[in-house]
Chains A and B, each alone.
Chain A
Amino acid sequence: MAEAHSPLAQFEIHPLGGPIHIGGLDVSFTNSALWMVLAVAGITAFMLLGTRKQAIVPGRWQSLCEGMYDFVSGLLKENVGNEGRKYFPFVFSLFMFILFCNLFGLLPGAFTVTSHIVVTAALALFVFFMVTIIGVVRHGLHFFSYFVPQGAPVWLLPLMIPIEVLSYFIRPLSLSVRLFANMVAGHVMLTVIGGFVFALGIWAGWVPLAFVTVIFGLELLIACLQAYVFTILTCIYLHDAIHLH
């Protein structure tokens, strides 16, 4: 651990095994892919083992699994209503994937999948296009009335419509950057302050160690919070697409 790592070294991607190319496309299995697979395996194991007894009166673990289900299902119901029910598997998968990637990223030596803008942008763009397509399929051309604010004076419309359009198209950007930036900032901070522990040695190193402990707790909170924020925003966008305001 004594080697002088840059705080950004933890975000480096390298292929495990050799590079794999299929039809000119690089599909190498990298450390990022490994942690994605681990997240999916972790979620499946967590949910499967938790519900293995299928008990009428749930134990602690099963309660946790049911709590996850109820939490996401509640989010969807509150924000979208009953029409959102059919998107539940997607929203649940999204929440669990981001949550587990964020939390696994906090394990020592782990790679944080969600600290890469490509990943968060891909998720955000997928949500963006999905929501837009749902809106257009449900409402046809009427969907574009979404960009015309109701009750605004007509003379303000030339200003309001571009603002609405801009705010709509900026959604995937804010969605992806929020998650990406939070993850990167947290991990950089942990690494930098963690580096001070070694730099200050046995006598003064306790101070940054205390800091890093507190900040680690904060990062746990942020990992959960950002998964929640991504999910609830997805729900709100779904609401807009289905109900148009």
Chain B
Amino acid sequence: MPQFDPTYFAPQLVWLGITFLALYLLMSKLILPRINGIFAQREDRIDGNLQRAEALKEEAAQVLAAYQKAIADARAQAQGALAKAAADIAAETAAREAEFGRKMADQTAAAEAGIRTAKAQALADVRGVAAEVAGMMAGKLVGAPADAGAVVQAVDSVMKERAR
């Protein structure tokens, strides 16, 4: 067998040493660091993406919180505005009612005063006419003009009795 021919033992061993050393150096200095680099890069990328996803998630949560706060604020504001409008309306209504009431009271008072003066006027007129009629009637009956002061007094006493 050619395998046991020692003629070419030496060159085989020498070239095995040279080529294997070259291979070892190529692998350890070039190829394996290169693949390590690829793995490291990949890991970095994955970590980076995970971090970015985390950041995005946080941002989304913040946006959601801001949105919910805005909604709550808007609702509170709307309720405030609504309450204020209701209060305004109530105040206006109350003010108008009060004014209306006052006007009515004034008018009532004025009317009552008018009625009172008219009544007093009427009573006074009645008293004068009654006194005149009574005086005339007494003069016709007696034939002589009656005492005016006595007639007025008599009419007054009768009117007081009737007014009771």
Chain A positions near chain B (C-beta within 8 angstroms): 8, 11-13, 15, 25-30, 32-33, 36-37, 39-40, 43-44, 47-48, 51, 54-56, 58, 62, 65-66, 69, 88-90, 92-93, 96-97, 113, 115-119, 122-123, 180, 184
Contact = CB atoms under 8 A, between A and B. Distances in A.
A184 to B, nearest CB: 7
A87 B42 CA distance: 24
Contact of B11 (A15, A66, A97, A113): A15
Nearest to B33: A89
Given A8-B2, A54-B37, A32 B23 contact: no
B12 A90 contact: no
Given A66-B35, A69-B32, A184 B14 contact: no
B7, B11, B19, B32: which has the most chain A beta carbons within 10 Å?
A: B11
B12 A56 contact: no
Nearest to A12: B2
A72 B27 CA distance: 13
A116 B1 CA distance: 10
B35 A69 contact: yes
Interface of B: 1-5, 7-16, 19-20, 22-24, 26-28, 30-32, 34-35, 37-39, 41-42, 45
Nearest to A126: B20
Contacts of B8: 13, 26, 28, 30, 32
Given A27-B14, A56-B41, A117-B4, A97 B35 contact: no
B80 to A, nearest CB: 55
A56 B11 contact: no
Contacts, number: 126
| Interchain residue pairs A-B with the least CB separation, the first 7 | A89-B28, A33-B15, A36-B19, A13-B8, A47-B31, A11-B2, A26-B10
Contacts of B23: 39-40, 43-44, 93, 96-97
18 contacts: A15-B11, A25-B14, A26-B7, A27-B14, A27-B15, A29-B15, A30-B8, A30-B15, A32-B11, A43-B27, A47-B27, A47-B31, A54-B37, A69-B32, A93-B27, A93-B28, A96-B23, A118-B13
Contacts of A28: 8, 11
A90 B24 contact: yes
A118 B45 contact: no
Given A27-B10, A32-B11, 13 more contacts: A13-B7, A27-B11, A32-B8, A44-B26, A54-B34, A54-B37, A58-B38, A66-B39, A89-B32, A92-B32, A117-B4, A119-B13, A122-B13
A23 to B, nearest CB: 11
